[in-house]
Amino acid sequence: MYSNITLPGLEGVIVTKSYQKEGVYHLHVELERQPHSCPDCHQMTQKVHDYRMQKIQHTQAFGRDTHLFYRKRRYICEEATCQKRFYEDNTLVARYQRQSVEFNQALSIELIHAKNFKDVADRFGTSPTTVMRRFDTICASKLNETKELPKVIAIDEYKGDAGGEKYQTIIADPIRRKPIEILKDRKKETLKDYLRQHGQGVEVVVMDMSPSFKAAVDQSLGRPIIVADRFHFCRYIYWALEQVRRHVQHSFDAYDRKKCKRMRHVFYKHQEKLTDKQHWYLEHYLHKSDYLERAYQLKEGYRKWFEIAKACGQEGLGEIKDTLYRFYDLVKASGVVEFERAISTFQNWQKEILNSFAFDLHNGYVEGINNQTKVIKRNAFGFGRFDRFRLKVLLHHQYKDVKIRIA
């Protein structure tokens, strides 16, 4: 047939023949003859020297693998002193490639969204090594690299197991909610080097209570405002209560010891949200141990302070600080050693904890990114190379709203 067909990537291409062979859709194509400029002398010519047939892998058509047989035209310069031979210009296939431009574009989109490289290779009818090479060359150019960090950043670590390191560090924008960079490890020097290169405009840093991260931020950014993530300082209180429960339940009889462990959630749930059955178990075990009851009351006292602090916000920092001091006094008077150790950590990080309520910032979004990252890692059965892992994760978040799926 001598007509144009509306297949992706074949606009303006003349299809001369089409048929199926062994389950593969074959299309014989060529381009319309047009004047071309000689690459050497720039003289215009329409004289054809010869034709070459090139087999090209294309995206699926009508649910079948597709191969293009491109009758590629070679021109010859008509200038007597030149006689340069060159191929015609085309948008069908790049030089030295055996896959069409459309195929590579579809492949790059699928590489971002797909579970792993083998899955993409099976659907595109190529090898995993070819897919990995395409990922390295095509997808790297699609990533928008960050040259300068925003005023507010969030820092966290996650277990990536890539590039010979167990943990990697992620830097994100908690305001616009997007990941910015992934560092190869969680070492202080690695973070310092990156922040010195890109963090000239950083004013606020949200992070967990890691002394290593804090030292790196202070030394590289000139002591910016550090905001402690709420989850990380709240868990010290619940850890203290858990330690008390574990210690106390050893004095219970065999039945109550096992039952107390199974019903441990009643100690952490908000008291007003307990069911009648849960409330009965809570009261039962609190009456069995005065030490456990004091620890539970301290947890409830902390929870009330936390709710007050969230409600007051930046305008009520004085009240937040005063009520926190009263909570310190309550802990010291209680004689619960586990909580005394917890408030020691609070006192060391008190400024950063109060900043959490002053700026209303936290690392919740970053923890969500970490969960998605772990899913990406599991779907791919792990990444040996850190650069591919970094590229896969950052591109996933950059293009996660692009819903186009091809092949």
Report the CATH number that the domain containing residue 225 is assigned in CATH.
3.30.420.10
**What count of Cα atoms within 13 Å lies in the side-chain half-sphere of residue 369?**
31
CB 111 within 8 A of CB 134: yes
108 shares a domain with 24: yes
CB 322 within 8 A of CB 354: no
d(CA 371, CA 396): 13
Domain count, the chain: 3
- Domain membership of residue 144 (yes or no) is no
76 shares a domain with 30: yes
- Domain membership of residue 1 (yes or no) is no
104, pLDDT greater than 70: yes
Domain holding 42, by residue range, is 14-139
328 shares a domain with 250: yes
- Domain membership of residue 223 (yes or no) is yes
Against a cut of 0.85, is the pTM above it?
A: no
Domain closes at, from 139, 163, 185: 139
388, pLDDT greater than 80: yes
372 shares a domain with 297: no
pLDDT tens, residue by residue, 186-237: 999 999 999 999 989 999 999 999 999 999 999 999 889 999 999 999 999 9
117 shares a domain with 127: yes
pLDDT tens, residue by residue, 320-343: 999 999 999 999 999 999 999 999
- Domain membership of residue 182 (yes or no) is yes
- Locus of tokens 């309550």: 330
CB 338 within 8 A of CB 295: yes
Average pLDDT across the chain, whole number: 89
96, pLDDT greater than 60: yes
User: How many beta carbons lie within 10 A of that of residue 231, not counting itself?
Assistant: 12
Domain closes at, from 109, 139, 169: 139
Q: Walk across the sheet containing 204-207 and list its strands.
A: 178-183, 165-173, 152-162, 204-207, 225-228
The pLDDT of residue 70 is: 95
355 shares a domain with 235: yes
- Domain membership of residue 168 (yes or no) is yes
pLDDT-derived band at 171, boundaries 50, 70, 90: very high
% of the chain residues with pLDDT over 70: 97
Token pair, residue 180, equals: 């910015």
